[in-house]
Structure 1
Amino acid sequence: MNKVQQQLYVTSEWISQYAQSIEAPLQKMNGILIAPSTMPIIFWQEFDIPWLKEVRALIHGTQRFSYMAPITAGMLLDCELSLTNVEEKVGKQGMLTFLTHTLVCKCNGDLIVTAETILIQVGDPYEKAYNS
């Protein structure tokens, strides 16, 4: 399975907590809180991601966010996280597996944000996490 879906309700409290955790100022538009632009990265915590369950520790590679509209308090987001590419390379430390993920979030059918994240696994991707 390469896709998982989750519906997320964005509250003022959630935005405030995240902004405080990254020491970002709170911003408002028409009196409504706007989420910091990197907030979708924590949306992953709300997903059950089967293809990462037996993966060793991961290194965060890159991330990109493309917004059509800001995420604001009160939005009900329909989000889909997909594993869009797996690429293996040999590096100085051995095998590297690059896992490219795309997170798409919509509100009422309108695209709000697309986020691409690359996670890197060092070592044999087929070796179980408990076989260190």
Structure 2
Amino acid sequence: MKRLHVQLYVTDEWISHYAQSIESPIQTIHGKLIAPVTMPVIFWQAFNIPWLKTDTPLIHGTQQFSYKSPIIAGMTLDCEFTLTKVSKKEGKQGMLTFLTNTLDCKCEGNLIVTAETVLIQVGEQDE
């Protein structure tokens, strides 16, 4: 399994900017901003993900989020990005490689969210 780690500090500005970019209402809890549920998709930008650096296009397969608690402004998240599964299947355009990626984010040792995304590459890929 390939695994990467980063630490992210979630600010009011980051939440506001993301919420505005997807036209999501800004929500609060105890006076602190709550991140939109899809915000972990942009956490990928903080990682250098070698297995996704390719000349072939990536097709978005599926994505799901599983929350234990909301992401709130002021949290420092310890995020682990893992290539959890690689599978291949013959398709109409040739070989398809399915890359299942899992992002786990914790705050103070407590799991906050798990985001799983399947990306598809057309053609033979190195693992």
In 1, distance between residues paired with 2:85 and 2:99? 6
Q: Which amino acid aligns with 2:19?
A: A
Count of paired positions:
126
**Map 1:92-131 → 2, pairs under 5 A:** 92-126=92-126
In 1, distance between residues paired with 2:109 and 2:47? 20
In 1, distance between residues paired with 2:97 and 2:31? 44
Note the alpha carbon deviations across 1:4-45, whole angstroms, 9 max, x for none. 000000000000110111110000011100000000010000
1:55 Cα shift? 5.4
Match of 2:49 in 1: 49
Match of 1:12 in 2: 12
Question: RMSD of aligned C-alpha atoms?
Answer: 1.1
Q: TM-score, normalised by structure 2?
A: 0.95
1:124 Cα shift? 2.1
> Residue 113 of structure 1: SS of its match in structure 2?
strand
Match of 1:130 in 2: none
5+ residue gaps, structure 1:
127-132
> Residue 54 of structure 1: SS of its match in structure 2?
coil
In 2, distance between residues paired with 1:52 and 1:41? 14
Whether the aligned pair in 2 keeps the contact of 1:10 and 1:75 (CA below 8 Å) is: yes
In 1, distance between residues paired with 2:100 and 2:72? 26
In 2, distance between residues paired with 1:12 and 1:55? 36
Q: TM-score, normalised by structure 1?
A: 0.92
5+ residue gaps, structure 2:
none
| Cα distance change, pair 76–121 in 1 and its aligned pair in 2 (3 A) | same
